């Protein structure tokens, strides 16, 4: 009997499999609408057990966790394509997703780079959660910057007349005014360290650890010893206001540009005139003397000078011949010029910056009023590398870094905010602040100066401190904007 029952059961199973195969063949021959009707009919005929089975199968098919099926290498590679905001959302999908995303160093370092945060090469932790916390901490700072909540404002008000020039370096600020007074301030303590008097109103000012140098509207330049405050060298040969100057200790020269349309090179230590350039036909508004490594990585550095007037930028090669460590001759070669305007329109905007490869300057867009073009010029190739259109009218280009650009715009562009920084990769707004309105004291806006500049290469958790910006304003004061201390969301993220 048992044998007979098994034979009947086997025959029944065999008959069912044959029937199922026949139905499958006929089902595959149906169109989509007929298949849908068939499935719907089967669902209506199904009991509780069949519906439960169908529910479990649908969950596996519709909500298939593809991340769980991929090997670890592909998981990480796939997640690298997600933007940081999406990554944060994906951490909430499941425990597996949270663990995979949070434990990946590569994913969070990539997220930091997307938002312009610097990765400290001296602290390459292999702890994925550390880099996630670092990203969240820095992104919070980034959000606060965009709201203008990371800055504090101070005023230095010892000047009796309008402030005409400011300069910042190494935590100190030099200011000069029409009252013919020069002051040196410690920006950390807000204490005036040194006061000097000059014979003429100052047009531009610079200093380092050795001396303070100023140019005047009377056509001469003067330097003072930083320690003793004694006048050391005078440079007197211009017959017009000296709006701009720069110097190089490597070359031992100082270069100045004036409203007399001439550029003059001087011996930095002796004050003797070395040579005069007369290629400009209008006021020289900016000179910039730069050095950078040669292509062969030799110890000798190449020196370039950039000079700007209202219509063009000229590029010069500068070198010195030496005999017994003394300059034998100054060799200057005009390489080419870059036009700044079209159809006779004066489109000059203050600001000229060189990063050892590219020269940055701003032009007004001649076709769209109220728009500006940030130009990135390849100096070595002598051609435009990129033009970034900004939907604001720029007053001055203050600084350029590897990631961010800082500018001052006219107040009517952003209401109460006229200082802002933006990401040059995607033009996202990075930081905003309000600077009191003031008219330029010189054509090169020498009463405006950017403070610390490392943050323009990308925030790293340490470079967002000190002075952001200093400006001489119309009420005869100097307005200082400083970074507020960052309050980390995670205590260990400031070790980066």
Number of domains in the chain: 3
Verify that 312 and 370 share a domain, yes or no: no
Structure confidence at residue 321 (pLDDT): 65
Q: Are residues 252 and 338 in the same domain?
A: yes
CATH, residue 84: 1.20.1280
- In the prediction, which pLDDT does 491 show? 58
pLDDT of residue 494: 43
Counting every residue written for the chain, the total comes to 496
Judged by average pLDDT, the poorest of 175-184, 205-214, 365-374 is 365-374
Mean pLDDT (whole number) for 167-177: 93
Does pLDDT of 298 surpass 60?
no
Where does a domain end: 278, 312, 345?
A: 345
Average pLDDT, the chain: 84
Q: Report the side by side order of strands in the sheet with 348-354.
A: 348-354, 358-364, 372-378, 383-390
User: Would you state the pLDDT for residue 403?
Assistant: 93
The verdict on residue 430 lying in a domain is: yes
The pLDDT value given to residue 4: 45
**Structural tokens at position 243:** 């709006």
Let me know whether 281 and 416 are in one domain: no
Write down the pLDDT at residue 299: 54
In a domain, 26, yes or no: no
State the average pLDDT over residues 32-38.
89
Determine the average pLDDT of the residues in 53-73. Answer: 74
| Residue 25: inside a domain | no
- Whether the per-residue pLDDT at 478 is higher than 70: the answer is yes
Q: Judge whether 81 lies within some domain.
A: yes
Give the pLDDT confidence score for residue 493 in this predicted structure: 43
Q: Given this model, what pLDDT does residue 125 score? A: 64
176 lies in a domain?
no
Whether residue 45 lies inside any domain: the answer is: no
Higher pLDDT, 154 or 126: 154
Express each pLDDT in 370-385 by its tens digit. Answer: 778 899 999 989 999 9
Q: Determine the pLDDT at residue 9.
A: 59
The pTM for the full model equals 0.81
pLDDT of amino acid 168: 96
pLDDT: is 346 or 264 the higher one? 264
Here the CATH number for the domain that contains residue 481 is: 2.40.10.480
User: Does residue 178 lie in a domain region?
Assistant: no
Lowest mean pLDDT, pick from 45-54, 127-136, 431-440, 486-495: 486-495
Is pLDDT at 292 greater than 60 in this prediction? Answer: yes
Q: Are residues 330 and 210 in the same domain?
A: yes
Residues 428 and 305 in one domain: no
Residue of 440 and 173 predicted with greater confidence: 173
Q: Is the pLDDT reported for residue 289 higher than 50?
A: yes
pLDDT at 405: 95
Within this chain, do residues 294 and 326 fall inside the same structural domain, yes or no? yes
Q: Mark which of 345, 370, 398 sits at the end of a domain.
A: 345
Which of the pair, 487 or 116, is modelled with greater confidence?
A: 116
Q: Give the residue with greater pLDDT, 23 vs 223.
A: 223
Specify whether 211 is located in the same domain as 334.
yes
Per-residue pLDDT at 344 exceeds 60: no
Residue 141: in which H helix or E strand, if any? helix 128-146
Sorted by sequence, the CB contacts under 8 Å of residue 184 that are 6+ apart come out as 172, 173, 174, 192, 193, 194, 195, 207, 212
Residue range of the domain that includes 253 = 198-345
pLDDT at 259 > cutoff 80: yes
Mean pLDDT calculated for residue range 300-309 = 86
What is the mean pLDDT of the segment spanning 126-146? 89
Q: Tell me what pLDDT residue 25 has.
A: 86
Q: Which residue has the higher pLDDT, 66 or 139?
A: 139
CATH code for the domain of 285 = 2.130.10.10
Arithmetic mean of pLDDT, 420-449: 85
What's the rounded mean pLDDT across residues 161-188? 91
- 53: pLDDT strictly greater than 70: yes
- In the predicted structure, residue 322 carries a pLDDT above the cut 70: no
Find the range with the poorest average confidence among 90-104, 127-141, 255-269, 341-355: 341-355
- 134 and 244 part of one domain: no
The pair of structure tokens assigned to 468 is 């952001």
How distant, in Å, are the alpha carbons of 113, 366, 423 from that of 149? 23, 35, 18
Residues 138 and 219 in one domain: no
**What integer pLDDT is reported at residue 486 of this predicted model?**
84
222, 216 in Cβ contact below 8 A? yes
DSSP 220-283: EEEEEETTT--EEEEEE--SS-EEEEEEETTTTEEEEEETTS-EEEEETTT--EEEEE---SS-
Same domain, 398 and 339: no
pLDDT of residue 346: 54
Q: Do both 493 and 361 map to the same domain? A: yes
- Both 223 and 300 in one domain: the answer is yes
What pLDDT does 21 receive? 85
Query: Which region holds residue 142: left if phi is over 0, alpha if psi is between -120 and 50, else beta?
Result: alpha
Domain boundary among 329, 345, 361: 345
Q: Half-sphere exposure of 216 toward its Cβ, with a 13 Å CA cutoff?
A: 21
The closest alpha carbon to 116, from 94, 80, 141, belongs to: 141
pLDDT at 38 over 80: yes
Tell me the percentage of the chain whose pLDDT exceeds 70: 86
What is the C-alpha to C-alpha distance for residues 280 and 349, in angstroms, rounded to an integer? 17
Query: Average pLDDT in the 51-72 region?
Result: 75
What percent of the chain has pLDDT above 90?
38
Q: Does some domain include residue 51?
A: no
Considering only CA atoms, give the Rg of the chain: 34
């Amino acid at each position: 009997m048992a044998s007979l029952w098994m034979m009947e059961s086997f025959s029944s199973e065999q008959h069912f499999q044959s029937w199922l195969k026949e139905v499958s063949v006929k089902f595959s021959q149906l169109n989509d609408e007929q298949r849908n009707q068939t499935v719907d009919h089967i669902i209506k005929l199904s009991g509780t057990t069949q519906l439960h089975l169908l529910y479990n199968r649908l969950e596996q098919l519709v909500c298939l966790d593809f991340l769980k099926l991929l090997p670890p290498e592909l998981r990480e590679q796939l997640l690298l394509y997600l933007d940081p905001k999406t990554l944060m959302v994906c951490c909430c999908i499941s425990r597996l997703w949270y663990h995979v995303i949070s434990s990946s160093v590569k994913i969070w370092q990539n997220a930091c780079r997307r938002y312009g945060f610097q990765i400290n090469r001296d602290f390459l932790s292999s702890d994925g959660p550390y880099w996630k916390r670092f990203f969240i901490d820095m992104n919070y700072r980034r959000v606060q910057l965009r709201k203008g909540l990371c800055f504090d404002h101070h005023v230095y008000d010892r000047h009796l007349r309008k402030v005409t020039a400011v300069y910042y370096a190494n935590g100190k600020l030099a200011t000069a005014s029409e009252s013919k007074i020069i002051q040196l301030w410690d920006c950390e303590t807000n204490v005036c360290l040194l006061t000097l008097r000059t014979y003429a109103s100052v047009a531009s000012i610079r200093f380092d650890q050795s001396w303070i140098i100023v140019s005047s509207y009377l056509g001469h330049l003067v330097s003072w010893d930083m320690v003793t405050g004694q006048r050391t060298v005078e440079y007197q040969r211009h017959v017009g206001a000296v709006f701009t100057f720069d110097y190089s200790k490597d070359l031992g020269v100082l270069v100045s540009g004036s409203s007399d349309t001439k550029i003059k090179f001087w011996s930095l230590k002796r004050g003797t005139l070395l040579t005069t350039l007369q290629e400009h036909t209008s006021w020289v508004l900016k000179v910039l003397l730069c050095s950078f490594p040669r292509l062969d990585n030799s110890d000798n550095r190449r020196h370039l000078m950039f000079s700007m007037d209202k219509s063009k930028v000229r590029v010069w090669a500068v070198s010195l011949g030496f005999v017994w460590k003394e300059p034998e001759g100054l060799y200057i070669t005009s390489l080419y010029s870059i036009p700044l305007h079209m159809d006779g329109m004066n489109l000059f905007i203050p600001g000229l910056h060189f990063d050892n490869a590219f020269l940055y300057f701003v032009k007004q867009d001649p076709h769209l009023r109220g728009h500006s073009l940030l130009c990135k010029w390849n100096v070595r190739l002598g051609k435009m590398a990129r033009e970034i259109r900004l939907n604001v009218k720029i007053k001055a280009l203050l600084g350029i870094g590897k990631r961010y650009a800082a500018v001052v715009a006219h107040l009517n562009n952003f209401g109460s905010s006229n200082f802002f920084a933006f990401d040059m990769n995607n033009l996202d707004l990075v930081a905003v602040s309000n600077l009191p309105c003031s008219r330029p004291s010189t054509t090169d806006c020498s009463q405006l100066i950017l403070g610390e500049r490392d943050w323009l290469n990308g925030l790293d958790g340490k470079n967002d401190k000190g002075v952001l910006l200093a400006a001489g304003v119309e009420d005869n004061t100097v307005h200082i904007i400083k970074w507020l201390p960052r309050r980390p969301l995670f205590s260990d993220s400031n070790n980066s």
